[in-house]
Amino acid sequence: MLRKNVLLLAGLALLLVGGCSKAEKPKFLARVVEDPATGWHIVTLAYHADDPSEAVEVKICPEGGSNMFSFKYGGVELLRQPDSLRQLQGRGYGTLILYPTPNRVRNAQFVWEGRTYRFKPNWHEHFIHGLVLDKAWSYEAPVVTDTAATVRTWIDFAPGTPQYKWFPWQSRLSLTFTLTPRGLRITYEVSNRDKRTLPYGFATHPYFNLLGKRDSTLIWVPAKALMKAVGLLPTGKLEPLDGTPYDVRKPTPLSQLDLDDVFWGMTPEEPMGWEARDRGIRMVLPASRDFTHAVVYTPPTKPLFCMENQTCSTDAHNLYVKGFVKESHLLIVQPGQKKSGWVMFVPSHIR
């Protein structure tokens, strides 16, 4: 059963503020409210900067796949919004959490240690976007201090849960959303409670709003190579970027791009990001060292784009067993062990 915040009484909002004197305005706050249409909960974390144009407010819906569906910077909404929270249990809004198979899985199946695991196809004959984005997650009461506002969410893979049917490893995926003056950090942790090795990939999939003109919105992805793909599924081969339409290592306008591709060789020292120059907003997306891949989606006819930090390639499980160990970067957790990493959303103004 979904664990509800015990401090939510009679549908009233829970308001937490950081320590401060009565004369001071709190820098951080958190609140939880119930959505009247769905009964789901919305966790809001907010940072009140001295300069209102640098204030940050994020909203997370645990029941909607632990989706951070709103990110406002200086009052400007940076993420594509749903008309109803129920739309979060699908694709196209907010920030999807992709696990244990980011993006596409060829023929909706993979083999691990001699056993075949099958998913229900949901993208032609393939499977896409993992098992947790359309599930209700549990959460704890937010915590606020003088320096941060934090909330933790989690989902268990256990007998009797729908996700365990398709990925039968007893395990837990937990997320910690931490808002600081720098930005928002999402720390993930995979805990393997099973007796077998657990193979996984993790990714965040934000749908960013196109804030201005396409020729004034630039992205950069300091990768080392492109993963050659056929039918949007990587073959395992790495291709150089020099002189190709995929070379976005330097800021490149969206008006010049039509991407739905996997990049390899990302590092924490050179994070990807974007800037809307006609709106004066920049977003940098750093990630920990386990995030070696990025997927970039820039549909030319839609007012959005996606820049996805991934710990692995699309179709990583299948590429790994074919011998593309480096190229797939599939992560493995031993029985009784844990693995973790983080991604960040760091907004700023272009001065």
What is d(CA 342, CA 286) in angstroms, rounded to the nearest whole number? 8
Tokens of 20: 């401060």
Block residue for tokens 């179709």? 315
Q: 126 with 105: CB under 8 angstroms?
A: yes
Report the C-alpha gap between 217 and 335 in whole angstroms: 45
| pLDDT score for 5 | 40
- Single-letter amino acid code for the residue at 213: K
Cα angle, residue 266 at apex, residues 80 and 255 outer, rounded to 5°:
45
For strand 272-276 and strand 233-239, is the pairing parallel, antiparallel, or unpaired? unpaired
The fold for domain 14-349 equals: Beta-galactosidase; Chain A, domain 5 (2.70.98)
Residue spans of the chain under pLDDT 70: 1-24
CA distance 49 to 53: 8
What's the pLDDT at 11? 39
Contacts with 113 (C-beta within 8 Å, 6 or more apart), sequence order: 196, 197
| Token pair for 124 | 């032609």
Per-residue b or e along 307-345, where b marks 16 or more CB atoms closer than 10 Å to that residue's CB: bbbbbbbbbbbbbbbeebeebbbbbebeeeeebebbbbb
pLDDT tens figures, 131-151:
999 999 999 999 999 999 999
Indicate left, alpha or beta for 94 from its phi (over 0: left) and psi (-120 to 50: alpha): left
Average pLDDT, the chain: 94
- Reduced to 3 states, what is the DSSP secondary structure of residue 107? helix
Cβ-based neighbours of 339, under 8 Å, separated by 6 or more: 189, 190, 290, 331, 333
Q: Nearest-CA neighbor of 183 among 351, 344, 341? A: 344
**Residue 153 and residue 5 in contact, taking contact as beta carbons nearer than 8 Å:** no
The confidence score (pLDDT) of residue 17 equals 61
**Tokens 């960013």 identify what position?**
208
Classify residue 187 as exposed, middle or buried by CB count within 10 Å of its CB (0-12, 13-18, 19+): middle
Q: Using CA atoms, how far apart are residues 45 and 59, in angstroms rounded to an integer?
A: 7
**φ and ψ of 191, to 5 deg:** -110, 115
Please state, in angstroms and rounded to a whole number, the distance separating the CA atoms of residues 78 and 349: 13
- Helix residue ranges per DSSP H, the chain: 162-166, 316-321, 325-328
The residue ranges of every structural domain in the chain are 14-349
- pLDDT for position 159: 98
Structure tokens belonging to residue 169: 């490893």
Q: What is the CA radius of gyration of the chain?
A: 20
Say if CB 59 and CB 44 are below 8 A apart: yes
- How many Å apart are CA 132 and CA 128, to the nearest integer? 11
Of 68, 66, 82, the residue nearest 134 (C-alpha): 66
CA dist 308 and 310 (Å) reads: 6
Cα 244 from Cα 221, distance rounded (Å): 14
